[in-house]
Amino acid sequence: MQKRFVSIWFRYLTTDWLCIRKPELFHVPFVFAASIHNRKVITAVNSIAEADGILTGMPVADAKAMVPQLEVFDEKQDRNTKLLKAIGEWCIRYSPTVALDAPDGLVLDVTGCTHLWGGELQYLQELIHRFKSKGYYIQIAMADTVGAAWALARYGTNGSVVESGKQAEALLSLPPAALRLEIEVLQRLQKLGLYNIRSFISMPRSVLRRRFGEGMLQRLSQALGSEEEPLVSIHLVEPYQERLPCLEPIRTASGIEIAIQKLLESLCQRLYKESKGIRKVVLKCYRVDGRIEQVEIGTNKASHHIPHLFKLFELKISSIEPALGIELFVIEATKVEEISPSQEALWLENAGKNMEELSELLDRLSARIGSEAIHRYFPDEHFWPERSIQLASSIIDKPAVIWPTEKSRPTLLLSRPDKIEVTAPIPDYPPMTFRYKGKLHYVKKSDGPERIEREWWLEAGEHRDYFQVEDEEGKRYWLFRSGHYSDTDTSDWFIHGFFA
C-alpha cells in the first residue's frame, strides 16, 4: 500500500489559542513578543495584525509605531511545543501516527485511514471543519511524501490532495522555500534568479550538490519520494491495537456494545493466527468534547475467546459516559501471552474444559469485585512463615517448590503476628492461658515447641518458638514466644495463625 501523509500548518497557532480563551481579542490586533538581545521582538501575530503589516521578527517598538492600538503579550517558553503536543494527542482519533512538526505544524501518517471518512478529500474537509469549529485556522495538504504535503500546505491551495505519484508535478510552481531549505541556500537561489522549483529540479545532481550542498539534495529527494523521511510519533502504536472510527458519534450502550464486538473480532483473529491470547486489554473511547473514557479488563489465563472477553467488557459498559457522543474506539492489548494447547489425560473427561471454565469464572468475578480481591499463592523457599508464600501471576503458573507436609501449618496465617498476653510455666512449657482481643482462652491441649530461626541473611532479630494450642471451645491456634526466656525480662508472645 502506498504511503499517504497529511501536513497541518497552524498559521496562527498561539494567537488562535489565546482568542479561544479571550474571545474579546477576536477583532483586536495583537502579538506575542519575547526579549532577544535586550530588545522585544515579535514571535507570533494574529491575522488582523498581519493584515496591518506586522510580521514575526519585527521589533515591538516598530510595530507599535505602525499600529498604536497593537496589544502585546509575553511569550512563554515551550508554549508552542506543549500546545502542539496536546493538539497532536487529540488528532490520534484521525490517525494512529501523529508527529510534531515544530514550531507550528503536525504530520499525520494516514495510510489506510481515509476511507473511513469517505475518501481523501472528505478526510481533509473533516479536519478543516473540526479545527475551525474549535477556533483554529489551519492549512492542510495530502501527498505521498511528508515533504510534498508540507510544501503544499504552506505554499499551495488549502486542502490540496496530490494524486499518488504526482508530487513532482505538484511542486514545480512552488518557491524554493517550500523544500524547507536553509536561509543561505534560499538567498543563493534568489541571486541566481531561480524563483521556483521548476527552474532547478531538472539540473544535474552534481551541479546542485556543488552549488547548494548535500542538504538541498536530501530535501528534494524527500519531497519527491526517492528518500524516506522518518516520523517520530507522539505515541508509539501498540503492536496489538485496533481502531474503529465512527461516521456518526455513538451515544447508546447498544452502539458501544457493537463497537466492542467488532474490535474484539479483529483483535482476536490476529491473536488466534499467532497462537497468542490477551491477559490485559484497554478500551479507549474518544468523545466529541475531547475527553477520553477508558475501561480495562484482565484475564487469569491468556485468551482469544471473543464471547468471554465481551462479557468482561459488558460488565463495565455502564461506567462509560458517552456525553455528546464517541467518535473513535481504540482497543489495545497491553499484555499478551503465548497460548499452548493443554495436554489432557485420556481418563479425565473434560479436564481442559473445566480449567477454561474456572479461568473464565475467575475473570468474571475479578471484573465484578476487582482483581485485587482474588489471589492464588505458591510456596516460597523461606523459613520465616510470613515469607514462605508468593503471589501467582496467573492460573496456569506452576510452583517452583511444593508445600511442606511434614509439619502442620495453620489454615489462616496473619500477615503480621498480633501480640497477646500469656500465662505460662517456665522455661519451655506451652501457655496455660492467653488473652486475644480482650477474650481469655484456657489452653486444654498443646504441641511444641517448634523453633524457627530468623533468616539472618535478610534481617537480624530473635528466633521464635511456636506452639499449636487448643482452647476449651476446641479452637486451635498457632502461638509463639519471641527469643529465649529470661528471669529478668518477660518474653513477648504472639498469635500468628488459626487452624480449621
Q: What does the pLDDT profile of the chain (500 residues) look like in tens digits? A: 689 999 999 999 999 999 999 999 999 999 999 998 889 999 999 999 999 999 999 999 999 999 999 999 999 988 989 999 999 989 988 988 999 998 999 999 999 889 888 899 999 999 999 999 999 999 999 999 999 999 999 999 999 999 999 999 999 999 999 999 999 999 999 999 999 999 999 999 999 999 999 999 999 999 999 999 988 888 766 788 888 888 788 999 999 999 999 999 999 998 988 888 888 999 999 998 888 999 998 887 888 888 889 988 988 898 999 988 998 899 999 888 887 655 444 334 444 455 666 676 766 777 676 666 677 777 777 778 877 777 776 666 677 777 777 788 888 888 889 999 988 877 678 889 999 999 999 999 998 888 888 887 777 788 889 999 999 999 999 999 988 776 555 678 999 999 97
pLDDT of residue 490: 62
Residues 6+ away with beta carbon under 8 Å from 235: 89, 92, 98
With residue 266 as reference, give the H or E element that holds it: helix 253-273
Query: Read out DSSP for 5-74?
Result: EEEEEETTHHHHHHHHH-GGGTTS-EEEEEEETTEEEEEEE-HHHHHTT--TT-BHHHHHHH-TT-EEEE
Phi, psi angle pair for 416, to nearest 5°: -135, 125
Using CA atoms, how far residue 240 sits from 209, 257, 278, 367, 394, in Å, is 44, 20, 10, 22, 21
Domain ranges of the chain: 1-237, 241-339, 412-499
How many Cα atoms occupy the beta-carbon half-sphere of 13 within 13 Å? 23
pLDDT of residue 487: 56
pLDDT of residue 347: 39
265 SS3 class: helix
Phi, psi angle pair for 106, to nearest 5°: -135, 150
| DSSP character at residue 233 | B
Q: Across 304-438, where does the E strand assignment appear?
A: 326-338, 377-379, 389-391, 412-423, 433-436
Region of 125 (left: φ > 0; alpha: ψ -120 to 50; beta: rest) is alpha
Among 181, 179, 129, 184, which residue's Cα sits nearest to residue 158?
A: 129
The CATH superfamily assigned to 1-237 is: Reverse transcriptase/Diguanylate cyclase domain (3.30.70.270)
pLDDT of residue 356: 66
Query: Read out DSSP for 403-456?
Result: ---SS---SEEEEEEEEEEEE--SSSPPPSEEEETTEEEEEEEEEEEEEE---T
Q: Is the peptide bond before 417 cis (omega within 30 degrees of 0)?
A: no
pLDDT of residue 395: 65
pTM: 0.63
Angle between helices 306-314 and 253-273 (to 10 degrees): 150
59, β-bridge pairs? 41
CA–CA separation, 45 vs 49, rounded Å? Answer: 6
493, β-bridge pairs? 420, 481
Using CA atoms, how far residue 482 sits from 29, 102, 493, in Å, is 80, 66, 6
CA–CA separation, 482 vs 464, rounded Å? Answer: 5
Among 155, 132, 134, 131, which residue's Cα sits nearest to residue 143?
A: 155
pLDDT of residue 345: 43
| DSSP character at residue 319 | G
So what CATH class is 241-339?
alpha beta
For residue 223, what is its C-alpha cell? 519531497
